[in-house]
Amino acid sequence: MFSLIKLPYALDALEPVISAKTLEFHHGKHLQAYVDNLNKLLPGSGLEGLSLEEIIVKSSLPAATGNLKAIFNNAGQVLNHEMYFLQFAPAGVMPGPTGHLLAQIEKQWGSLDDFKADFEAKGVSLFGSGWVWLQADANGELSIGQYANADNPVAHGLKPILTFDVWEHAYYLDYQNRRAAQLKALWDIVDWKVVEERY
C-alpha cells in the first residue's frame, strides 16, 4: 500500500510561486487520488509489493492495456508528483546547483541560464498534459525529456533528476493559461540540494 507523502514545508511556504490553494488541491486532492487509484488497482495484478519504479518499468510496455495501462498511469503520476513536491523549498533556500551537476550543465548548455531557457521552452512546447524532466543516462549525460501524461524517465531507463508539471491543474488557479510564467517562476523555489542528490 502506498500512502500520500507528507510535504516538507507548510502549505503557504512556496507563495507567491505556488499558492497554498494550489498546493492544497494539487497535493491533497490530485496526488491523493493517484495514490488511492494505484492502491485499488494493484491487488491481483502481480505487481503488489514492488517499488514505484519497478511497477512503472513492469507496466510501461507499449502494448499495455486495461488494468496494466491504468496502473502505469497512476504509478507514474505518484512518482512524478512525489519528485515534484519534494524538490521544492521556500524561495532562496538554495539558489542554484553547485559541484558536479553545475559543471555538467555548463558543459552541455554553456550556462545555467541557457539550461533554464531550454527547459522552459521544452515545457511550453509540450502539447497537452505532461511533464518536462531533466534526466541522466548511465554515463551521467544529461538531457531534457518531454513526457505526455504520466510518462517519465524511469519508464525509459533514465534517471529522473528534476521535473516541472505542465498539467493545467498544476498552475491554473495561480496563472490561468500562462504556463510559461509558471515555469519561469518555479526556479525560485527549486531546492537544488535535493536535485543534486538525485544526480
Q: Nine-digit cell at 99? A: 559541484
- Is residue 153 within 8 Å of 145, Cβ to Cβ? yes
Residues 123-142 that bind Mn ion (CB under 5 A): none
Query: By beta-carbon distance, which residue lies closest to Mn ion?
Result: 165
- Compute the least distance from the CB of residue 92 to Mn ion, in Å: 24
- Compute the least distance from the CB of residue 139 to Mn ion, in Å: 30
Q: Nine-digit cell at 11? A: 502549505
Identity of the residue numbered 56:
I
CB of 22 or CB of 59, closer to Mn ion: 22
Q: How far apart are CA 42 and CA 55, in angstroms?
A: 9
CB of 22 or CB of 135, closer to Mn ion: 22
Q: Nine-digit cell at 28? A: 491533497
Given strand 142-148, what is the order of strands in its sheet? 142-148, 130-136, 159-165
The site that binds Mn ion (CB under 5 A) totals a number of residues, namely: 3
CB of 151 or CB of 165, closer to Mn ion: 165
- Compute the least distance from the CB of residue 101 to Mn ion, in Å: 24
- Compute the least distance from the CB of residue 73 to Mn ion, in Å: 12
Residues 147-186 that bind Mn ion (CB under 5 A): 165, 167, 170
CB of 73 or CB of 101, closer to Mn ion: 73
Cis-peptide into 16, omega within 30 deg = yes
> SS3 for 96-125, per residue?
CCCHHHHHHHHHHHCCHHHHHHHHHHHHHC
* Residues at the interface with Mn ion (CB under 5 A): 165, 167, 170
